[in-house]
Structure 1
Amino acid sequence: MPARIRLVIGLLVVVMLYFSPIRGPIQAADPDPIRIAVLKFGTVNWELDTILHNGLDKANGFTLEVKPLAGSAAAKIAFEGGEADILVSDWIWVARRRATGADLVFLPYSKSVGGVMVAGNSPAQTLADLKHSKIAIAGGPLDKSWLILQAYALKNGMDLKTSTEQVFGAPPLLHQKALTGEFGGIVNFWHYLARLEAKGFRTLVSVNDAARDLGLDPDIPLLGYVMKGDFVREHADRVRGFAAASRAAKKILEEDDTAWERLRPIMKAEDDAAFEKLKAGFRAGIPDGQAVDPDAAARFFNLMAQLGGEQLVGTATTLPDGVFVDVGGW
């Protein structure tokens, strides 16, 4: 065969092999995805990053796709519109939506809550000492922590709402203003309070202590992963895998300090003190893994309905059935 023809045939073979779908080792397809919509700078990202870094998603039969968004409204739109399979929210919202017929369920994520904090040099020793003071509250008048604190104060002889001036605003703005001494006390999300504690602020009354005084179970995780019921039913193995990955990530973060060093850049801790407080706060919020007690949850919901009314719980008068998903050994 002439050399020229051999060259042409050789080139054709190379081209055919290059475009052949079977060239090289066959790559296994990634497991089916689970898409989660989260706030871009939310603390849940610490857990999700741990899942991804350690390959806990693939090890449990799914591929985690994190969709960071600018706000909770955008996350809910993505979830409701089918752009995400999971949303991070509280179970009171899930109960409200279930009461209207929405088939949503809740998988616990965190029991971290805050409280009322005051500056380290504040003379206040009890809530009564905040009378006539300004109290900053993140999350608005229907913030669950604020409602519990009001109920606690009423039980102990103080109308917190009428005896103080409330200032509502965005969490980061209130945080910055608190550092200037503008408020007598502040109720904010736990991670902002952790940063304040690192600056010398102290807790006047924690939401956990207030809840316990009211006969509520402070260990009920308020925040969790929200999913549609049909997604859970149609992809039960994937959901169980997600729950297992979440548990494994929490175990790493609970026991391994080096895992936190890796997360430090995304935690945005101002200094070592803030870093340690954030780490401790996250660990304190890890649920014990037990199923939520439905009676305890019903008592909690009834108080929220009593204090927040229809604005908070919608048409629900009692806790609807099926709020808490059972994935077997959460």
Structure 2
Amino acid sequence: MKAIGGAVSGLCLATASFADTPTLRAAVLKFGTVNWELNTIQHHGFDAAHGFDLEVQGMAGGSAAKVAFQGGEADVIVSDWLWVARQRAAGNDFVFIPYSKAVGGIMVQGESTAQDLTDLEGAQIGIAGGPLDKSWLILRAYAEKNHGMDLAGQTEQVFGAPPLIFGAATSGEVDAAINFWHFGAKMEAGGMRTLLSVAEASADLGLDPETPLLGYVVRGAMLRDNPELVEGLAAASRDAKDLLASDDAEWARLRPNMNADDDAQFAALVAGFRAGIPAPGPIDEAAAGRMLELMYDLGGEELLGTATELPAGTFAQTGS
């Protein structure tokens, strides 16, 4: 396997001079929700307990994290497995470890008269993530299947960064909005309601809403040469999730880092994170394959490149 971006053997682990414990460098969005889990891992020493030292590098955006990872400046990033599948199809040896199944939905104001997607005909929809946002594509497929509706053609879309869509939605500037799950939680806390969740739409389309979309991404060389390190990362993640699933005091400790404006937002963020915790165990690759095929039908090469089917080895089937 050729080195990616100059990283030797696809793996560039720093090692403390005074110990043999490898340092795992995670490049993540500086204010992303994954930081709550990573903070928990570091605070409770779950990384040391599983044989590594976690170093978190805050990045300005997801693209910057990917550049750092591909250039060998980071060992781990967070992305969706569809991106990993695209990279593997292109010859890049990346592997996905589940992190979260949290997804949002299409939301409207609490007083809106809309009852289903057909009521949005002619409406303006704010969408975070762009025209190839996975949630938007799934909702479009649902609308076509159940209502014979071309959601893209029969509505007006406004694309923007998540904070901008949040502002436009809560102010009523747009009639409906699709945003990342944590912004959706804040929108719900502010009185908006979910017209249709992505989980509901996915299940209706024959997909498995339990399939985690987001995860930690590592190089395949790490899995081959240091499988205990990949298992350690997965185990530390699971330890943090188990704590966050049940311990309210841990969330109280994290609250200053959560950007929650009030108690309602805080409670919604905690509930949303907990709902997104995936079950332990291996990913159902058949279910993932069905999702990829649907995403390719909707987004084509622009979304998935040459990944017309799930590439072998996309998922690290760890024990956690």
TM-score range for the pair, normalised by the shorter chain length: over 0.9
Structure 1 gaps of 5+ residues are: 1-26
The correspondence of residues 263-302 of structure 1 with structure 2, limited to 5 A, is: 263-302=254-293
SS at structure 2 position matched to 1:312:
helix
1:230 pairs with 2:227: no
Correspondence for 2:13: none
- State the partner residue of 1:200: 191
- Is residue 30–residue 63 contact of structure 1 (8 Å, CA) maintained in 2? no
Which residue number in structure 2 is paired with residue 82 of structure 1?
72
TM-score normalised over the length of structure 2: 0.93
Q: How far off its partner does 1:290 sit?
A: 2.4
Residue in structure 1 matched with residue 109 of structure 2 by the alignment: 119
Please state how far the C-alpha of 1:77 moved relative to its aligned partner.
Answer: 0.7
Divergent runs of 4+, >3 A: none
In structure 1, the partner of 2:36 is: 46
Alpha-carbon distance in structure 2 between the residues aligned to 1:281 and 1:71: 22
Letter in 1 for 2:84: V
Contact 1:38-1:69 within 8 A present in 2 as well = yes
Name the counterpart of 1:37. 27
* Equivalent residues of 1:114, 1:206 under 8 A apart: yes
1:256 matched to which residue of 2? 247
Residue of structure 2 in register with 1:65 after alignment: 55
Q: Say whether residues 1:173 and 2:164 are aligned partners.
A: yes
Alignment deviations for residues 237-289 of structure 1 (CA, whole Å, 9 cap, x no partner): 12211111100000000010000000001101010000000000000000001
- How big is each residue's C-alpha offset from its partner over 1:95-120, in whole Å with a ceiling of 9 and x where there is no partner? 00101111111000000000000010
Displacement of 1:59 in angstroms is 1.0
CA distance in 1, matches of 2:112, 2:275: 26
The TM-score normalised by the length of structure 1 is 0.90
Tell me what 1:110 maps to: 100
Larger radius of gyration: 1
Alignment of 1:133-172 (within 5 A): 133-156=123-146, 157-172=148-163
Aligned partners of 1:220 and 1:69: how far apart in 2? 26
Question: In 2, are the aligned partners of 1:150 and 1:160 still within 8 Å (CA)?
Answer: yes
User: RMSD value over aligned CA atoms?
Assistant: 1.1
Contact 2:222 2:229 in 1 (8 A): no
Asked if the contact 2:170/2:192 (under 8 Å) is kept, the reply is no
Between the aligned residues of both structures, percent identity stands at 61
**Mind listing any 5+ residue stretches in structure 2 that lack a counterpart?**
1-16
- Partner Cα distance (2:241, 2:233) in 1: 12
User: What is the alpha-carbon distance in structure 1 between the residues aligned to residue 282 and residue 227 of structure 2?
Assistant: 18
Aligned length: 303
CA displacement 1:15-63 (0-9 Å, x = unmatched): xxxxxxxxxxxx9737211111000000000000000010111111100
State whether residues 126 and 168 of structure 2, in contact with CA within 8 Å, keep that contact through their aligned partners in structure 1. no
Query: C-alpha separation between the residues in 2 aligned to 1:325 and 1:60?
Result: 17
Provide the secondary structure at the position in 1 that maps to 2:153. Answer: helix
For 2:245, the aligned partner's letter is E
